[in-house]
A and B are shown apart, each in its own frame.
Chain A
């Protein structure tokens, strides 16, 4: 026994409270501590994944009260996979930003606290088995995200952050309303218990609560009407934070939404709704991405589009569809983070971050350009790389469910995607360099971080079997609703002293 899932929350919190104190003693420790914490958690996550594969879902009881009375954490194949992914991404982003704000120590303290808490909040959203606890973690994640979006002191970052904050707090109000409706009907807040008793709810309550949940969680999941904040926030946030948004926060949002739809309420027609809303998100985002002339906004719209695709794949609802969706989530986290991290070096010294400012940078920043190109090729789904396998499995899942329209739309959107990514790669490699652009060489730790992501893309591309086993058990664990309820509600006797 190496540890329990609660350490994923407790240790980073302890570290975050400790960081300001350590800063008084030894300044470098502020940068080192988050990395040590994330490294330990990565070790723990890998260990627990092995344990889960052996002996099934771990349900951790908190404060000694078995569910549904106490709060519990569920480390199932699905949540375990997402936790491991998030911690891994967090660790890589930590390596990348190790020297961030090198001169100004007081800003570095805040940056590392907020980044660590954003990762912890996302992990909490995934691990918790209680809707109100999830709400608290969503708030932790979003407050850190607001502050990180406004981290640079330029003109526009505060605007982006304020926009995000208004949409975010309206959404969390809806979440709270949904919790009120559920509590007033069932008298419980535990997800498994709600899923078990959901048939006791009056129909009006059920539909309204579902609508409120989708509105409340849709903002983090970036689905169509609620993603107005996304491009601004991604474009204004520091580079590593953009990577953390697309690699960590969005994944948590999608997970929360999927958990509500798949486990809490089985309302018929929700899956079709998911497909429709996902398609709309996908098409609008990709159309918008083509029109962008700024690199980070383009990446942000592309990120929204990919999330739409994930929602579509979840909407297909078969085991194959869920598998494809999880595979795409995994690939998207890795590839889009690589794109954000390398892209922010390509436009490092520019204020407006236009795409044409990357012209001809391949000669000056060979490794960064190569990694960006690798990411671009991988995300559009070129055969030997990671993105291909996930797109292929979505298409085959749609084909097996006879959704011809979905296939046609996905393929045509892929062509759009191909166009705008290759436009950028073409400019980087084959255009003459603009004179006023001063390329910034990546620091050694940034190079290490980006190379790890590049290697991961190659590994998943050439040996997809290395992850598919985990993905299959994860998708099964999402679809087996009865097993989830039973696992949670049968845990543990009451510990009373």
Chain B
């Protein structure tokens, strides 16, 4: 009974939503004076950032990114708070599967390469697709690989929160440094450099590298917390 009710409600909702969406001409933008034209021209012209998405994520809407990093930070904190069992009861590592020697050796070989790829992705965030989030996630998957293949692989909690806190503080401080020269929060205060150079875009690469470290540390911590929750 409940299923039928929900299904019919959903059908009404879907038809109404689709009817409205069909008024959008797919592939043509309806609006004339949106903000995107400004972003598309200013980013390469004035800021020296080739990847416009990066320019938006880190600079134009950099405040969102600060919030987003905070969301991940909170998710890690929330998860460890929710799963916390008390001072004296520490969880035991869950073992998803026991891995063979081949897997172990292979992961050991792959691990540095994955970390390197992650670092490459977030250092080149302003030039190529990718950036702090993507690079951070790739680094976290590297640690995930190690955690899965070695049953006794340990990540230092102190080191993780150290990296996480320092990266977060770097982000917020770079933001506050924008107040130099009478600017505003998160404003660029470094020379922008030429388009498609590695050293370009002012503070954008600095912020994205901080984001990369922070996201990497947070997600590694999150997975580590989850894995350590065996009953």
Contact = CB atoms under 8 A, between A and B. Distances in A.
Direct contact between A and B judged by beta carbons closer than 8 A: yes
Interface string B81-123: 1101111000000000000000000000000000000000000
B151 interface: no
Contacts of B31: 185-188, 200
B165 interface: yes
B172 A13 contact: yes
Given A62-B62, A110-B80, A204-B23, A140 B185 contact: no
Given A6-B185, A63-B178, A187 B33 contact: yes
B17 A13 contact: no
B78 A144 contact: yes
Interface stretch (A67-75, A368-376, A400-408): A67-75
B187 interface: yes
A177 B20 CA distance: 12
Interface residues on B, range: 35 or more
B35 interface: yes
B183 interface: yes
A114 interface: yes
Contact of A10 (B32, B46, B85, B185): B185
Contacts of A495: 183-184, 187
Chain B contact surface mostly? helix
Given A18-B165, A117-B70, A133 B81 contact: no
Nearest to B87: A104
A233 B165 CA distance: 30
B73 interface: yes
Contacts of A63: 59-60, 62-63, 178, 184-188
Given A20-B161, A147-B77, A497 B188 contact: yes
A14 B169 contact: yes
Contact of B189 (A111, A205, A497): A497
Contacts of A104: 86-87
A208 B17 contact: yes
Nearest to B29: A187
A456 interface: no
A493 to B, nearest CB: 12
Interface in B160-174: 161-162, 164-166, 168-169, 172-173
5 smallest CB-CB distances across A and B, nearest first, come from A187-B34, A147-B78, A17-B168, A187-B31, A136-B67
Interface of A: 4, 6, 9-10, 13-14, 16-18, 20-21, 24, 60-65, 68-71, 104, 106-107, 110-111, 113-114, 117, 124, 132-133, 136-137, 139-140, 143-144, 146-147, 150-151, 153, 158, 161, 177, 181, 184-190, 200, 202, 204-205, 208, 495-497
